[in-house]
Structure 1
Amino acid sequence: MGTVLGWPPVVWALRIALVVALAGCSYVYLLLIAPFFRPANIRRMVRADLPRVRSVGAEVAGTRGEVQFVQEPRVRQANKENTSRLAGHADDVFLREGD
């Protein structure tokens, strides 16, 4: 078996197949993450305010850490409204399909 796998045409065929498989997997992965890296999203991430931290804690020997971020009330309310609006929309879609 070692003599067959050590034969240069087989070795190079396996290497080329590996490169093709890696290129295909990379392409599929790129297609999966591409929507998250739209210019508008990147611009929003760069221009966003830095998060404010309420408290930071640490414990070395017990491996415990704690960080609490502060969220502005208007942002919290907007998140609640978006979540409830999306949940209501999804409920309507699923109810229509189930009828």
Structure 2
Amino acid sequence: MECRPECGACCIAPSISSAIPGMPNGKPAGERCVQLLDDARCAIFGSAERPDVCRDFMPDIDICGNTKQQAIDTISFLEVATHSPSLLSKGSMNETE
């Protein structure tokens, strides 16, 4: 599977504990990564500055589903299932952009 155009769910839904350029402490679940461009592409894709967790993530139908919202819902569910404190404090998430 290839990334769905204009999705970016993997740059919004999960928490990322690694430093990201512009986000030195990583990002909480549900917060849009500062490196996510308006067209939902990563501004640092292919760069050594891109965190390993981002580089290692591969799109998969079981995670990404058929829509951006399905991807956000699945990744958000996985955050809760792994007891991510940043998501548990925010409650459920829906991307409305």
> Which of the five TM-score ranges fits, normalised by the shorter chain?
under 0.3
Greater Cα radius of gyration, structure 1 or 2: 1
Tell me the TM-score normalised to structure 2 length. Answer: 0.24
Tell me the TM-score normalised to structure 1 length. Answer: 0.24
Q: Which protein is richer in strand relative to its size?
A: 1
Q: Higher RCO, 1 or 2 (CA under 8 Å, sep at least 6)?
A: 2
